[in-house]
Structure 1
């Protein structure tokens, strides 16, 4: 049991690390220049549309990702045995990060393609919200109601 808890925790930290690697790669790609950087900077309609979509994605995805997980935890994960609970916890933690990656990608694409600071702000809000999803063994045990076997 302890081995499986540590394995799930390690996998969650790996997924979380990949989530944070994505914006680093986007910044490196965007700052190294390219034909796509500033491609729509002079198009006011496309910029407005992209900014609006990005802001709406942040406004919807962040509360959904945080609240959906607590709802699933209470309604689905708490009602199954421990091995199934670990699988579901890993699965829904991944879904939560996928929901958070949508405004992150939209924000960075808006920032680099439209040269809009609103996109960067939305991406940073999404990154900040991901800190509430940081996986730890203590948190996993607390949320799954597993006592520490010492």
Structure 2
């Protein structure tokens, strides 16, 4: 069981690292003028639409992603057996991270398309919220109420 817990933890950490790397790569591509920036800087109606969508997405998806994981953890994951609980934990962690990725990547796009700081602020809010989702073996064990097998033996 310890091997499976460590494997799930490594997978979740790799996915989290990939999430952060993609955000950094997007910023580098925009900053190095590989991706076009400022397309809608002069178009105030499009700027308003993009910023509104970015703000509303941030307001809706961040609390939703954090809450849905908690609800599933309490009602579905903790009641399942250890094997099934690990799979469900990984599945819902992936969904939570994907929702946060949508917020982050979309708002990086909004920031560079409008050259207005609202998109950047919303992207930073998404990255900050993802810090609460940092995967770790200790956190996984605590959330699933799994004790270390060595402690069981004592």
Query: What TM-score comes out, normalization by structure 1 length?
Result: 0.97
Q: Structure 1 residues 5, 96: CA separation in 2 closer, same or farther (over 3 Å shift)?
A: same
Moved more, 31-40 or 92-101: 31-40
Alignment of 1:61-76 (within 5 A): 61-76=61-76
What is the CA distance between 1:49 and its match in structure 2? 0.4
- Aligned twin of 1:92: 92
Query: What TM-score comes out, normalization by structure 2 length?
Result: 0.95
Per-residue Cα deviation, 1:80-125 (whole angstroms, up to 9, x for no partner): 1111110110010000000101111121011111111100000000
Provide the C-alpha distance between the structure 2 equivalents of 1:35 and 1:79, rounded to a whole number of angstroms: 47
Q: What is the aligned residue count?
A: 150
List, as ranges, runs of 4+ consecutive aligned residues in structure 1 with deviation greater than 3 Å. Answer: none
Provide the C-alpha distance between the structure 2 equivalents of 1:111 and 1:43, rounded to a whole number of angstroms: 14
SS of residue in 1 equivalent to 2:14: helix
- Aligned twin of 1:37: 37
What is the CA distance between 1:146 and its match in structure 2? 0.2
SS of residue in 2 equivalent to 1:107: helix
Alignment of 1:1-150 (within 5 A): 1-34=1-34, 36-150=36-150
Q: Structure 1 residues 35, 146: CA separation in 2 closer, same or farther (over 3 Å shift)?
A: closer
Structure 2 unaligned regions, length at least 5: none
Contact 2:58 2:103 in 1 (8 A): yes
Q: RMSD over aligned Cα, in angstroms?
A: 0.9
What is the CA distance between 1:36 and its match in structure 2? 2.2
Provide the C-alpha distance between the structure 2 equivalents of 1:122 and 1:81, rounded to a whole number of angstroms: 38
Per-residue Cα deviation, 1:110-142 (whole angstroms, up to 9, x for no partner): 111111110000000000000000001011000
